[in-house]
Amino acid sequence: KAGVTQTPRYLIKTRGQQVTLSCSPISGHRSVSWYQQTPGQGLQFLFEYFSETQRNKGNFPGRFSGRQFSNSRSEMNVSTLELGDSALYLCASSLGGTYNSPLHFGNGTRLTVT
């Protein structure tokens, strides 16, 4: 079974631009979560989508948004990029039908904002 796929692997953007990251979950998984990983703040939860609906949201500004499509694929968008948005963005999928179903992470998208 293919794992969680995130594209692109690396991205370089300029401050003020916007960016869209993509995530394809494991086949059959209906929940997709996004996390930000930085050396200073560690791993922080952004949001979770289940059956195309945002089910939970972390403590990030409104510049961070996401969506999920009917095939469970998900995208994350960051608008008006700031230098502090430079991070590894990780997507995780799970069956999602019950809470605490194991999360399977992709290898992330490394975003650098200059």
Partner 1 sequence: QQQVKQSPQSLIVQKGGISIINCAYENTAFDYFPWYQQFPGKGPALLIAIRPDVSEKKEGRFTISFNKSAKQFSLHIMDSQPGDSATYFCAASLTGANNLFFGTGTRLTVIP
**Interacting residues toward partner 1 by CB under 8 A:** 4, 31, 33, 35, 42-45, 48, 55-56, 58, 90, 92, 94, 96, 99-108
Q: Which tokens in the block code for residue 88?
A: 């590894």
Per DSSP, the three-state class of 85 is helix
Long-range CB contacts for residues 62-65, cutoff 8 Å, separation at least 24: none
Residues in the chain: 114
The least CB distance from residue 107 to partner 1, in Å, is: 5
The least CB distance from residue 16 to partner 1, in Å, is: 29
39 or 62, CB closer to partner 1? 39
